Each structure stands twice: as structure tokens, then as C-alpha cells.
């Protein structure tokens, strides 16, 4: 954990073996940052990736860290993104990414399960 990363960067990797993170991150932020940077390591990425690469990685880790059954349970508990993020132990941005990248089947399942919950 370091204190020298630029304000806009929570974590970074050298693309080979090393990941550094801001020393001010909350536990759930660290969880997301580690998953994100590990995905970069798998692809041997270094800093400065395109927004398309970053979006693809965020979508992948959102799927990995927020399985559909857990997303459904969190949404049943409370529809507010902040509460869902805390319940799922991830960041609000990752919950939003997961919802925005649901495939058609997942979206239908989520809608159906939430509708059943409110009957």
C-alpha cells in the first residue's frame, strides 16, 4: 500500500508481478482494486490502458465478484446502490457496472425475482 499514486488512480500494476494500491482504500475498495489489477496481470497490461480495456475488465470482475444470486439477494434487501454495494462488499461503481452489463437472461431473471419478491 502506497501514498504516492495520483488522486485518480486507486491501484496499478507493472504488468508482471507487482500490484500497488492507495493506502487509504476501504476493505471493499481494496477487494475490487485487487481483482481489477489481477485481471490486468493476467493480460500483462501496464498503466495507460484504453477505456475499452478498462470497461471490459470492470465488466469481468463485476461478474466474478457479484454472482447473479447475490445481486438478487442484495436488491431484495434494498434497491439503493450504496446499500447493495456494502452488502455485496464491493464499490458502488461495480454494482452499477454489473447491472449495466447483465445479459438478457440475467436481466429477465433479476426482474422476475424482484417482481416475485414484491407480491
Q: What is the DSSP string of 49-79?
A: --HHHHHHHHHHHHHHHS-HHHHHHHHHH--
pLDDT value at 50 more than 70: yes
pLDDT given for residue 117 in this prediction: 64
Residues 109, 100: Cα–Cα separation, whole Å? 14
pLDDT averaged over the chain? 90
pLDDT given for residue 107 in this prediction: 96
Q: Choose between 96 and 115: higher pLDDT.
A: 96
Banded pLDDT at 109 (limits 50, 70, 90): very high
SS3 at position 42:
helix
Percentage with pLDDT > 90 across the chain: 62
Place of cell 502506497: 2
pLDDT value at 8 more than 80: no
Say whether pTM exceeds 0.95.
no
Banded pLDDT at 118 (limits 50, 70, 90): low
User: Closest Cα partner for 95 from 79, 114, 118?
Assistant: 79
Mind listing the pLDDT tens digit for each residue in 66-88?
999 999 999 999 999 999 999 99
In a domain, 39, yes or no: yes
In a domain, 1, yes or no: no
Instruction: Residue 81: give the domain boundaries.
Output: 11-117
For residue 87, how many C-alpha atoms fall within 13 Å in the half-sphere facing its CB? 18
Overall average pLDDT of the 87-105 stretch = 98
- The structural domain count of the chain equals 1
In a domain, 6, yes or no: no
Interstrand relation of 19-21 and 11-13 (parallel, antiparallel or unpaired): antiparallel
Distances (CA, A) of 107 to 18, 36, 104: 36, 24, 5
Give the bridge partners for 11, in sequence order.
21
In a domain, 55, yes or no: yes
Amino acid at each position: 500500500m502506497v501514498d504516492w499514486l495520483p488522486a485518480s488512480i486507486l491501484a496499478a500494476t507493472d504488468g508482471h508481478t507487482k500490484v500497488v494500491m492507495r493506502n487509504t482504500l476501504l476493505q471493499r475498495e481494496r477487494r475490487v482494486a485487487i481483482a481489477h489489477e489481477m485481471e490486468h496481470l493476467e493480460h500483462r497490461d501496464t498503466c495507460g490502458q484504453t477505456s475499452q480495456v478498462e470497461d471490459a475488465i470492470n465488466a469481468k470482475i463485476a461478474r466474478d465478484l457479484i454472482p447473479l444470486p447475490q445481486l438478487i439477494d442484495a436488491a431484495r434487501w434494498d434497491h439503493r446502490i450504496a446499500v447493495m454495494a456494502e452488502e455485496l462488499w464491493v464499490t458502488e461503481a461495480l454494482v452499477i457496472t454489473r447491472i449495466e452489463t447483465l445479459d438478457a437472461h440475467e436481466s429477465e431473471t433479476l426482474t422476475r425475482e424482484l417482481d416475485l419478491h414484491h407480491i
